[in-house]
Amino acid sequence: MDALPNCRPTTVRFRDIFAASETEDEQNTSLASVLEFFRREWPGGFTAGELRNYLSRGEPAANDLRAAIEMAAHRPIKHASATELTWRLKALTDTPCDVDGTVLALRYTAGHNGGRYEVRKCR
């Protein structure tokens, strides 16, 4: 008689395990890049509108940032409106990430004219 009758053997597909791990690594790397950029570009915080203005430039660095946000947030940015960017940023908010040995996270503070995002150290 089996000690665990409800625990049946299953097929292990290492390719699936490694693929999932690789995707997670890419998302963490993207989040680290995004946080590092935000911290450098807007040390006092920023709004979704400011991010929209930056992304609308169409410069290579702006396109790279857009791609990194898409990867980190798990969703594409279709129109880069302030509303759409707010949703992408909310997906990244409060997610801790190691950036060069410091654990950082994107934080949101509500305000009268919309909110502000700021990269802060986690305790």
pLDDT in tens, the chain (123 residues): 556 677 777 776 766 555 454 445 667 899 999 999 999 999 999 999 999 999 999 899 999 999 999 999 999 999 899 999 999 999 999 999 998 899 999 999 998 877 999 999 986
| CA 110/CA 91 separation, integer angstroms | 16
In a domain, residue 57? The reply is yes
Strands (E), the chain: 97-99, 102-109, 116-121
List the domain range (segments joined by +) for residue 73.
18-121
CA atoms within 13 A on the CB side of 98: 3
- Cβ neighbours for 77, distance < 8 A, ≥ 6 positions apart: 55, 66, 69, 70, 84, 85, 88
Q: What is the CATH number of the domain that holds 30?
A: 1.10.10
Q: With DSSP H G I counted as helix, E B as strand and the rest as coil, what are the percentages for the chain, rounded to 5?
A: 50, 15, 35
User: How many structural domains comprise the chain?
Assistant: 1
In a domain, residue 89? The reply is yes
CB 108 within 8 A of CB 117: yes
Beta bridge partners of 99: 102
